[in-house]
Amino acid sequence: MSLVIPRVVFGAMAFAPRDRGLQIRTMHAAIDAGVTAIDTAPLYGLGSSEQIVGDAIADRRRRVQVWSKVGLRWDGDHGEVLVRTEGKTVRKDGRPESIRRDVEESLARLGIERLDLCQVHHHDRRVPIADTMGALIDLRREGKIDAIGVSNFDARAIREAATALGDVPLATHQGRYSLLHRELEGTLWPTLDALSVRFVAYSPLAQGLLAATGRRLEQQDWRRWLPAFHPLNRRRVDAACETLRAVAAEEGISVARTALAWALAQRSVAAVVVGGSRPEQIRDSALAPSTELGQGARRRIANAFATVRLLDEPPERRRDRLRRLSGRVVSGLARRVTGPRR
């Protein structure tokens, strides 16, 4: 079965159980708006995203592709540490037995029999790529997955993956790409084009930074702690977004749709993965493929962002310092109450 990639893919990364009803309604709105693929992963909510996606598609599986990922685990000690989240240490794990376990656990959470696209989330450099791909070929032969893709790989690893798959095509590479993150254009796209691997852009709105310009984030919004949302970085982005807002006003569309239309107009972008916390957001994003920006408008937008450089480690904010200090106080009090460990 050949993978048909829609121009807009619904991304379920930010899903959390507390918003389950709204998230299901948002996914239903996406499907009704013509979005025919949902992208999730075991890492997202440590399994809860896949469970919510499974509930949402239970009565409309035939209308939507399900994409998920493999190669990250938080219940073992193999592999390079990727991130620490929700009290868990997440490691890269491309061993064949781990790949099989990932797929089978994802299918159980999703309540489906086959993944339409299975992507290796990150390259585990401690395991030969041929071993990881071999496990995926076996799973494909068993009918548990269909197309095979990778994510966050460099050009050399992509070539190795394509070679290891042999007659089975490497369908996709999913990577970060937006007006603020264009480095893959020169480092990766030539390889993808040469191998006929389609590029799927995640974070095309830079986790909402390009869509909510000038808007204050709510106190509980997790993005407040990301370096990109530091006031110094936001001011740099907002200055460039004046052009983005101007073009959006001229076109009579939202700023978010303008940024998505710009990304979709780039030569190697097959699709963008777009999240949404409300139905109206994804309905607007679903219109991006039919929004044609003229060459002049695209050039104006690109030029506005060409000199934007985000600080990876901006100065610590007062609220960050207070948060860190309060954490130390709480830990100190806990030690006093519980006493020394024996």
Percentage of the chain modeled with pLDDT above 90:
74
Which amino acid makes up residue 185? E
pLDDT digits (tens, 9 = 90+) for 98-137: 999 999 999 999 999 999 999 999 999 999 999 999 999 9
| Least confident residue range of 18-22, 80-84, 192-196, 278-282 | 18-22
Q: What is the CATH number of the domain that holds 181?
A: 3.20.20.100
Residue numbers of the domain that contains 190: 8-338
Q: Establish if 167 belongs to a structural domain.
A: yes
Domain count along the chain: 1
Task: Name which residue leads in pLDDT, 257 or 20.
Answer: 257
Check if the beta carbon of residue 227 is closer than 8 Å to that of residue 311: yes
Q: Establish if 259 belongs to a structural domain.
A: yes
Per-residue pLDDT, 215: 54
H, E, C per residue of 146-189: EEEEEECCCHHHHHHHHHHHCCCCEEEEEEECECCECCHHHHCH
Task: Name which residue leads in pLDDT, 221 or 255.
Answer: 255
Q: Which residues contact 85 (CB under 8 A, 6 or more apart)?
A: 46
Q: Establish if 2 belongs to a structural domain.
A: no
Pairing label, strands 115-120, 198-202: unpaired
Q: Establish if 3 belongs to a structural domain.
A: no
Host H or E run for residue 199: strand 198-202
* Phi and psi angles of residue 81, each rounded to the nearest 5 degrees, phi first: -70, 125
Does residue 74 have a pLDDT over 70? yes
User: What are the distances in angstroms from CA 54 to CA 45, 142, 256?
Assistant: 14, 21, 27
| Strand order across the beta sheet in which 81-85 lies | 72-73, 88-92, 81-85
| Least confident residue range of 243-252, 279-288, 327-336 | 327-336
Per-residue pLDDT, 283: 97
Task: Name which residue leads in pLDDT, 298 or 320.
Answer: 298
Cα separation of 26 and 31, whole Å? Answer: 9
Task: Name which residue leads in pLDDT, 58 or 226.
Answer: 58
Does residue 16 have a pLDDT over 80? no
Per-residue pLDDT, 341: 44
Tokens of 33: 């708006």
Q: Establish if 131 belongs to a structural domain.
A: yes
Host H or E run for residue 194: helix 189-195
Q: Establish if 1 belongs to a structural domain.
A: no
Per-residue pLDDT, 240: 87
pLDDT digits (tens, 9 = 90+) for 25-46: 999 999 999 999 999 999 999 9
Does residue 334 have a pLDDT over 80? no
Longest dimension (CA), the chain: 69
Q: Establish if 221 belongs to a structural domain.
A: yes
Per-residue pLDDT, 43: 94
Per-residue pLDDT, 86: 76
Q: Establish if 289 belongs to a structural domain.
A: yes
Per-residue pLDDT, 338: 47
User: Three-class SS of residue 93?
Assistant: coil
Does residue 208 have a pLDDT over 90? no
